[in-house]
Amino acid sequence: MTVATESPQLERLKAILAEVADLSHAQQILEWDARVSMPRDGAEARADVAATVTRLAHAHFVSDEVGKLLDDLDAAGQDPGSVEGALVRITRREWERASRIPSALAGEMAQASGVAVAAWDEAKAASNFKSFSPHLERQLELKHRYIACFPETDEPYDVLLDEYEEGFTTAQVEEIFGRLKGELVKLVERHGGNAVEEIAGPYPVERQQEAGRLVLDAFGYDANFWRLDETPHPFAAKPGFGDIRLTTHTDERDLTSLFSTMHEFGHGVYEFDIDPSFARTPLGRGTSSAIHESQSRTWENLVGRSQGFWHWFYPRLQRLFPEPLGSVDEETFVRSVSAVRPGLIRGDADEVTYGLHIILRFELERELLAGTAAVSDLPEIWNQRMKESLGVDVPDDAHGVLQDMHWAGGLFGYFPTYQLGNVVSVQIWDRARKQLGDLEDQFSRGEFSQLREWLSEQIYRHGSRYQPAELLRRVTGSEIDPEPYLKYLRTKFA
- 324: burial class by Cβ within 10 Å (0-12, 13-18, 19+)? middle
d(CA 259, CA 17): 35
DSSP one-letter string for 164-218 = HSTT--HHHHHHHHHHHHHHHHHHHHHHSTTPPPP------HHHHHHHHHHHHHH
CB nearer to a copy of itself: pick between 46 and 406: 46
Shortest distance, position 41 Cβ to a copy of itself, whole Å: 4
The verdict on whether 264 is a catalytic residue reads yes
Shortest distance, position 13 Cβ to a copy of itself, whole Å: 16
User: Which of 45, 171, 345, 436 is the binder for a copy of itself (CB under 8 A)?
Assistant: 45
d(CA 482, CA 298): 15
Interface region with a copy of itself, contact rule CB under 8 A, candidates 200-208, 221-229, 441-449, 466-474: 221-229
Residue 2 binding a copy of itself, by CB under 8 A: no
User: Which of 49, 126, 149, 392 is the binder for a copy of itself (CB under 8 A)?
Assistant: 49
Q: Which pairs count as long-range contacts for 62-67, CB under 8 Å and 24+ apart, including other chains?
A: 62/95, 62/98, 62/99, 62/103, 63/16, 65/12, 65/16, 66/13, 66/16, 66/91, 66/95, 67/95, 67/99
CB nearer to a copy of itself: pick between 103 and 336: 103
For residue 53, give Cα distances in angstroms to 43, 129, 137, 477: 15, 30, 24, 41
Helix pair angle (157-164, 353-370), 10° resolution: 130
CB nearer to a copy of itself: pick between 41 and 64: 41
Interface region with a copy of itself, contact rule CB under 8 A, candidates 16-24, 288-296, 345-353, 466-474: 16-24
Residue 225 binding a copy of itself, by CB under 8 A: yes
Site string for a copy of itself, 266-285 (x = CB under 8 A): -------------xx-----
User: Which of 7, 9, 12, 23 is the binder for a copy of itself (CB under 8 A)?
Assistant: 23
Residue 392 binding a copy of itself, by CB under 8 A: no
How many CB atoms sit inside 10 A of residue 172's CB? 16
Site string for a copy of itself, 193-212 (x = CB under 8 A): --------------------
Q: Which residues contact 366 (CB under 8 A, 6 or more apart)?
A: 155, 157, 170
CB nearer to a copy of itself: pick between 31 and 254: 31
CB nearer to a copy of itself: pick between 60 and 346: 60
CB nearer to a copy of itself: pick between 33 and 396: 33
Residue 438 binding a copy of itself, by CB under 8 A: no
Residue 297 binding a copy of itself, by CB under 8 A: no
3-class state of residue 241 by DSSP: coil
108, 165, 264, 363: the catalytic one is 264
User: Which of 239, 266, 304, 410 is the binder for a copy of itself (CB under 8 A)?
Assistant: 239
Residue 178 binding a copy of itself, by CB under 8 A: no
Residue 22 binding a copy of itself, by CB under 8 A: yes
Containing 83, the helix (H) or strand (E) segment is: helix 83-100
**Strand arrangement of the beta sheet that strand 236-240 belongs to:** 226-230, 243-248, 236-240
Residues between 57 and 116 that touch a copy of itself (CB under 8 A): 60
Q: Which of 398, 297, 428 is nearest to 350 (CA)?
A: 297
Q: Is 470 left (phi over 0), alpha (psi -120 to 50) or beta?
A: alpha
Catalytic residue positions? 264
Interacting residue ranges for a copy of itself, rule: CB under 8 A: 18-19, 22-23, 25-26, 29-30, 32-33, 36-46, 48-49, 51-53, 55-56, 60, 223-227, 239-244, 279-280
